[in-house]
Amino acid sequence: MTTYAGSTMKLRVAREVSPFGYFLSLGDDEDTEVLLHYSETNGVKVKEGMEVEAFLFHDTDDRLSATLKKPLIRLGELKRLAVADIHPRLGCFLEIGLGRQLLLPISELPELIDLRPLPGDEVFVTLTHDKSGRLLAKLAREEDLAKHVFPAPATWKNEWKEGWVSRTLQMGSFVVLDGGVVGFGAYGMIPAAERPEPLRLGQRVSARVTFVREDGRVNLSMGKLKQVGRIEDADRLLAFLKERPGGAMPYSDETPAELIKNKFGISKSAFKRAVGKLMRDGIVRQEGNWTKLLTEEEAAAFKAMADAAKAESAKAESAKAESAKTGAAPKQPAATERAAKEPASREPVKKASQKKPFPGPNRGR
């Protein structure tokens, strides 16, 4: 097979052969001609002798053919293409805008089936040839993407961005974030601990920029800010507790992280922050491996203690502010005042219960 496939060329219409279409001349030494079928003229009125801009490909019989339709990708280009179909042994078939699909071989896909793309996902690929000259998609590597991405601005920190997973590993998932009007996009990574589950190649994701590196790449997280996530997680746990018999659940700070992740879909740290908020609010308490809702009496007692502590704190702050105005030291408790008046040289008083040491064999003689 020739290597013309995948290229867009200006070719002369040599002749028309009904009922097939037009034969275009490649203009090579062998005077090779390719068929432009009537169905591939894309509405253009073709005549013998005129020049047309045609995209070359191989048909189902591996014959070099031409079309006047515009492909979504050309030879050597890097594009993001949608997955049209999947084959368990061959790989993924990608839509290229010509009414036919392009194969992304299974050798280019992750080994784990759960990490492979699904129809509707979009993957970054380049167009190349196989050993026989047929068109083939090749997954874009990091060095391929590096030529197109732009450095993320520092203002992106803590902003939510959307993108497509370009590579997924056990350690994390690499994502090309949408560039919008700025350009192709920016490159980032979601560490495994910052994603709720392993992500598929080509999956559409939304993630928060946690850090912008000096080279313009970014660290990402699919979790909310801790202060926001703590409130939402606490609400979810409270709703779960209220549905449980007796308002108790067999999960606490002592529960293994894996069990918490499987049950609530959050990390153990997030779980502890959420439970801690509920405990500070006087809503729950923990007993060993259990977390329980407080009874009305327990909640009332907790509120009374909290109000007293708050009043005492406010009183101390008020005294501190008053002393700052007058320049005097804040009044000390009576016991402290008495201790301050005692002379520093005074010997400590011996306790009445203190006993003299038992005389040894050489004592008292």
Which residues make beta-bridge pairs with 318?
none
Whether 351 is covered by a domain: the verdict is: no
At a CB cut-off of 8 Å and minimum separation 6, what does 172 contact?
189, 190, 191, 192, 194, 195
> In the structure encoding, which two tokens stand for residue 212, read together?
């912008």
Q: CB count, 10 Å around CB of 287?
A: 9
Residues 285, 247, single domain; the answer is yes
In eight-state DSSP terms, residue 248 is E
% of the chain residues with pLDDT over 90: 52
3-state secondary structure of 15: strand
Residues 56, 83, single domain; the answer is no
Residues 291, 230, single domain; the answer is yes
Question: What's the rounded Cα separation, in Å, for the pair 227 and 134?
Answer: 54
Whether 234 is covered by a domain: the verdict is: yes
Q: What was the pLDDT predicted at 132?
A: 83
Of the pLDDT bands very low, low, confident and very high (cuts 50, 70, 90), residue 3 is low
Amino acid present at 356: K
Q: What was the pLDDT predicted at 26?
A: 87
> In the structure encoding, which two tokens stand for residue 262, read together?
């499987």
Question: What's the rounded Cα separation, in Å, for the pair 57 and 6?
Answer: 6
pTM of the model: 0.65
Q: CB count, 10 Å around CB of 255?
A: 18
Question: What's the rounded Cα separation, in Å, for the pair 269 and 133?
Answer: 54
Whether 17 is covered by a domain: the verdict is: yes
Q: Does residue 353 have a pLDDT over 50?
A: no
Main-chain dihedrals φ then ψ at residue 307, nearest 5 degrees: -65, -40
Question: What's the rounded Cα separation, in Å, for the pair 184 and 173?
Answer: 19
Q: Of 135-139, 206-210, 228-232, which gets the smallest average pLDDT?
A: 228-232
Of the pLDDT bands very low, low, confident and very high (cuts 50, 70, 90), residue 332 is low
Q: Does residue 106 have a pLDDT over 90?
A: yes
Q: What was the pLDDT predicted at 346?
A: 44
Residues 93, 132, single domain; the answer is yes
Whether 326 is covered by a domain: the verdict is: no
| Torsion 302-305-306-307 (CA) sign | positive
Residues 167, 135, single domain; the answer is no
At a CB cut-off of 8 Å and minimum separation 6, what does 24 contact?
11, 12, 13, 14, 33, 34, 35, 36, 52, 54, 66
Residues 211, 246, single domain; the answer is no
Whether 347 is covered by a domain: the verdict is: no
**Domain of residue 198, residue span:** 151-221
Residues 245, 201, single domain; the answer is no
Q: What is the DSSP string of 188-225?
A: EEEEGGGSSSPPPTT-EEEEEEEEE-TTS-EEEESSPP
Mean pLDDT of 88-116: 94
Q: Does residue 239 have a pLDDT over 80?
A: yes
Number of structural domains found in the chain? 4
Whether 93 is covered by a domain: the verdict is: yes
In tens, the pLDDT along 160-183 reads 999 999 999 999 999 999 987 667
Closest CA to 117 of 70, 85, 145: 85
Whether 55 is covered by a domain: the verdict is: yes
Question: What's the rounded Cα separation, in Å, for the pair 265 and 181?
Answer: 35
Q: What angle do CA 262, 263, 268 make, to 5 degrees?
A: 75
Q: Does residue 126 have a pLDDT over 50?
A: yes
Which residues make beta-bridge pairs with 11?
52
Residues 231, 214, single domain; the answer is no
- CATH at 44: 2.40.50.140
Of 168, 199, 221, the residue that ends a domain is 221
Residues 234, 254, single domain; the answer is yes
Question: What's the rounded Cα separation, in Å, for the pair 351 and 244?
Answer: 58
- CATH at 237: 1.10.10.10
Residues 233, 208, single domain; the answer is no
